[in-house]
Chains A and B, each alone.
Chain A
Amino acid sequence: MNFDSRKYVLITLFILVGIIYTLRIFYMQVIDDSWHLRAQEIAEKRKEITPPRGVLFDRNGKKIVANRTYYNLMMVEDDMKNFDTVAFAELLGWQAWQVKKRFRDVREGEGTYYNKHTGKRTSNYQKIRAYPFIKEMTLEEIARIAPHLENFPGFYEEVTSMRSYPFANGANIVGYLSEVNREEVEEDHFYKPGNNIGRAGLERFYESELRGRKGIKYIVTSALNNAIESYAGGKYDTSALQGPPLKLGVDIILQAYGEKLLQGKRGCIVAIEPSTGEILSLVSAPSYDPNLLIGKRNISSNYPKLVLDQSKPLYPRPLAAEYPPGSTFKLLNSLIGLQEGVITPESGFPCNKSMVGCHDHTSAGNLADAIKHSCNPYFYAVTRRILQQGKKKNIYADAEVGLGLWAKYMHSFGLGSKLETDITGLRSGLIPDPAYYDKWYGHHRWAFSTIRSISIGQGEVMLTPLHLANIAALIANRGWYITPHFVKSIGKSGPDSLYRKKHFTMVDRKHYGIVIEGMRRVVHVSGGTGKRAKLKDIIVCGKTGTVQNPHGEDHSVFIAFAPMYQPKIAIAVFIENAKGGGGLWAAPTAGLMIEKYLTRKITEKEREKTILEAKFTYRE
């Protein structure tokens, strides 16, 4: 018997194992990257350096959002030796049980997360890892503790950067930061637990710019978690890069003054530079000091109070509160009427109080005077002519065509939808169109008489104060507007092309003159409803509004721009539940704001005092 052929059994075995191993290793090393990730998890520590956020400047270069250094007291359980709870509590000024409780919280809280795959809360707390024992201590707080930390191995301080607000104003513009939640960490790999994220306002809208670029250091670590060396000689390391500064169009002095004027009241002031669309101030009253929401400790003690406050200080009213515009709306109906040719500047309508009430004044013989008096019957007549142009025989069909056209005009004024302003929390307001009323009353079941309150800015029409200010701006510009926005430039670039584009309204430039003349008479001619906005050397063009409020006193509204030629500021003031009409409270407030912005001085001290002292009561 010959056994020579049996050598092939062995040769086959060798070659087979060689090939299988090679394929297996090829799969492990080249195709499957899970082992690569596992190796990173095991041996490479990715140390992230979070840069300070980009800072915010106002239009005059004043820093309104800055950064300040804080300190975290970190703990590594494995490094603690002979830990003396009582002595440590004494150092911190705590009770011993508080220290023990905090330990428990760190162990149970800091490392746990919701595991999507298992559906359970999983703890990845590790004794060798560092966790913050106390977060966000000020320099004074840490300075007292730091020299004694050498007696407590396992504890050390770590520098961290947080916001500070040199002016306590503009909280609803800038927003605030808070810690990311688990979903945000999972959604965006930029964030690690404990990182901050913009929660509201510009901080949220410009989050991706402000957060900057994280620095990353790759370190090779040993099984005992000691850093050994930088990975691959630092080849993959990147340095941290602070977010670029944002320059805002906001005038912090004006903002602060506006907030002061509205103290004790609820309402809004929005001021825009008409030629650029830059928002000069956006006052929401009541507001809060943004310094109250810096860091976890402050947020946990102050945020609940602010949320539960009945006056809703966190609510950005100028962006999100939707009000009927009241008589300010008559300006737009006038413009549409002129453009449609259904009225002329010389049209006169009697002040006939049969359909709607009006205050006592002589019947207006022309449009400018009608605006001056804010004559309700006059604008009923104007709007009836717009809506019922007689293009169809059936008055219902005619009203449908008319309202459709009217709504189109309104949309061209930027109404009825969210403006593309660079902030979150915007609301769209409401401009009713035929479909809207069809839903309420049925098709061809409504005509002008059914919906006549839209003539005077009541009824279904809803605008935000930002919309109102934009109306003032587009009238000041005589027929166009640039979307109101906060940020002029990000670093060296800007403004965004979105904020350089002029939006033209459907009303020709020539028709604005007479409406502006009417607005001048509102303020500067005797019998005008807005005479309290009058300034000595500046021609203010304005329009009052008194919004009927079924829940309490009427709201006081005023929109204006100044000066009449080459306007520098367009403004809307809305004061809730103010006793008396737009002329009484909103108009003088607007006047003071305009004077403050244009001259930085206040001449009408008496007027200012009245406004500052005014307090209105609110039914909750």
Chain B
Amino acid sequence: MRQNESLVANVDWALFAVYMLMLIFGVATVYSTAYNEDHPNLFDFSQKYGKQMIWLFVSLFLGLMVFLIDSDIYRKFCVPIYLFTLVLLVIVLFMPPVNGARAWLGIGTMGIQPAEFAKIGTGLLLARFISDVNVKQQTSQTVLLANAIILVPMTLILLQPDAGTFVVFTSFLFVMYREGITYDPLILKLVNAIPGVKFKQTWVGSHFIPILFVVVFLSLVTLLMSNEKISFGFLPGVIFSGFWSVMISLTIFAIFLSLVSRLIASKRERNRASLIILIAYILATLLAAIVNYGFQGLAEHQKDRIELFLGLKEDPDGEDYNRNRAMAAVGSGGMLGKGYNNASVASVESNHVPESETDFIFCPFAEEWGFVGVLLLVGLYMFMLLRIIMIAERQRSTFNRVYAYVVAMILFYHFAINIGMNIGFAPVIGIPLPFFSYGGSSMMSFSMMMFILLKLDSQRRDILN
């Protein structure tokens, strides 16, 4: 009895409220998008919104189950759970393909996607692994094992193939970075192989993951911009080549960073910060130049292939059909939107935006609610993400903290990529918008992820280490 009381008292109700709010918005959007005049009932199970309601209740039921089980089992049984999701990922490869990918387990539309649940399994195991590691005494084995935990499910997912979820798995790298998993042992082995060099520690090694991401991101941006002409809105009539736009943006960013660092850093740190920014700036421009001129050397059809691969080739009615339609839907929303159930571009019935109830659910939402709705949605997500980080930081146990970061990073990835592909900022790789998109697997997996977090958090005081 007492335990139950404390359970209720210790639940983070703010996070739970945002979660519930998002579910309600999500179902409302699915209802509006897939609305069928002949079946107006929300609980008409022949319709997508009816099915979504089933998934919603199943998810809440699963959540209740999670709450009734002692949170210790996630820590204890994380290896079997991880292995179970791996087995599912293997089995799914022998299923008949749906839309070109062997991602579905089950019959017809009522199947589940093991890849969604693999995120939880991987997240739990990674949390367990990191909580067992003494971060002060890392070896090459540590970082290799940590990477192996991620890479095995990633490989299986790539075999389906499911590029979206594959990319989402890289979010674990950021969690590893936060927890101090370092690539230094590997980097040192390489560097110290050079005769006469004897480093104990490298900056690149300890910050390997963000550096890797910056390099990849900057290379991609430079690649995409290399044959575009960009005009800056604030300078009428002035048009820069894409490469120079990247250079200018880098310069502005560097100046901005050094100003910020002057404001927040102590006197002693200022010079060091300025030096780091200067070196980073030089390296970044160098990288951009190499990518730009390397890319220009490529033949025209190779360029096209890269752009098509990234899903960023401008061709309104061809390769880039989805994104162009999606952007038209979002952009036509205006300040206040077209009103609930009034999406003209993104409704399922009009079918201009394919998958508008699943991967492109942001389109009908933005079209119907306008910028005001978007502000609310982005605000909810920001609140949720920052709240989870807050929860993470208040955990006594490393396991709980790592798991909380896993949840935050996965949600952030989905948010950034899903909305990014609706507004032309990310390639079109099909991943759902958590709690909004139609689909049982994503709703169940995200709900379970959320309830496990809430449960772990509610029992944070019971754990001593």
Contact = CB atoms under 8 A, between A and B. Distances in A.
Contacts of B174: 10
A114 interface: no
A42 interface: yes
B371 A29 contact: yes
A43 B135 contact: no
A308 interface: no
A25 B423 contact: yes
Interface string B154-185: 00000000000000000000100111100000
Interface string B345-380: 100011110000000000000110011001100100
B328 A232 contact: no
B96 interface: no
A30 B366 CA distance: 12
Given A36-B331, A42-B352, A220 B344 contact: yes
Contact of B332 (A4, A22, A39, A224): A39
B350 A222 contact: yes
Interface in A26-60: 26, 28-30, 32, 34-36, 38-44
Interface in B383-414: 385-386, 389, 392-393, 405, 408-409, 412
B420 A11 contact: no
A21 B330 contact: no
B334 A3 contact: no
A43 B345 contact: yes
B240 interface: no
A35 B327 contact: yes
A222 to B, nearest CB: 4
Nearest to B174: A10
A221 interface: yes
A605 interface: no
B331 A28 contact: yes
A1 B134 CA distance: 11
B40 interface: no
Contacts of B350: 43, 220-223, 228
Given A10-B409, A223-B350, A22 B334 contact: no
B136 interface: yes
A487 B62 CA distance: 82
A7 interface: yes
A220 B348 CA distance: 12
Contacts, number: 128
Interface residues of A, number: 41
Nearest to B408: A10
B352 A28 contact: no
A36 B327 CA distance: 10
A36 B375 CA distance: 19
Contacts of A224: 351
B171 to A, nearest CB: 10
Interface string B170-207: 00001001111000000000000000000000000000
Contact of B327 (A10, A28, A228): A28
Interface in A216-248: 220-224, 228, 231-232
B425 A24 contact: yes
B306 interface: no
Given A42-B325, A221-B350, A17 B416 contact: yes
Given A10-B174, A14-B386, A232-B338, A29 B330 contact: yes
B333 interface: yes
B178 A10 contact: yes
A9 interface: yes
A30 B345 contact: no
A28 to B, nearest CB: 4
Q: Is the interface of A mostly helix, strand, loop or mixed?
A: helix
B331 A22 contact: no
Contacts of B342: 232
Contacts of A40: 332
Which of A30, A39, A44 has its CB near the most chain B CB atoms (within 10 A)? Answer: A39
B381 interface: yes
A35 B334 CA distance: 10
B333 A29 contact: yes
A480 B77 CA distance: 111
Interface in B134-163: 135-136
A3 B179 contact: yes
A17 B385 CA distance: 12
A13 B415 CA distance: 12
B163 to A, nearest CB: 20
B433 interface: no
Contacts of A9: 177-178, 210
Nearest to A6: B178
B325 A35 contact: no
Given A14-B385, A15-B382, A21 B371 contact: no
Nearest to A28: B331
Contacts of B328: 35, 38-39, 41-42
Given A22-B375, A25-B330, A43-B350, A30 B335 contact: yes
A18 interface: yes
Given A15-B382, A30-B371, A7 B335 contact: no
B344 A22 contact: no
Given A9-B210, A36-B334, A222-B352, A28 B423 contact: yes
A36 B332 contact: yes
A223 B366 contact: no
B386 A7 contact: no
B223 interface: no
Contact of A3 (B135, B210, B412): B135
A223 to B, nearest CB: 4
Which of A38, A43, A220 has its CB near the most chain B CB atoms (within 10 A)? Answer: A43
A18 B378 CA distance: 7
Interface of B: 135-136, 174, 177-180, 210, 316, 324-325, 327-335, 338-339, 342, 344-345, 349-352, 366-367, 370-371, 374-375, 378, 381-382, 385-386, 389, 392-393, 405, 408-409, 412, 415-416, 419-420, 423, 425
Given A29-B331, A222-B350, 10 more contacts: A7-B178, A14-B408, A15-B382, A21-B425, A29-B334, A35-B331, A38-B324, A38-B327, A43-B350, A223-B350
13 contacts: A7-B178, A11-B386, A14-B385, A21-B423, A22-B378, A29-B333, A38-B316, A39-B345, A40-B332, A42-B345, A43-B344, A223-B351, A228-B350
Q: Which 9 A-B pairs have the closest CB atoms?
A: A35-B331, A39-B332, A3-B180, A38-B328, A28-B331, A39-B328, A223-B351, A220-B344, A43-B344
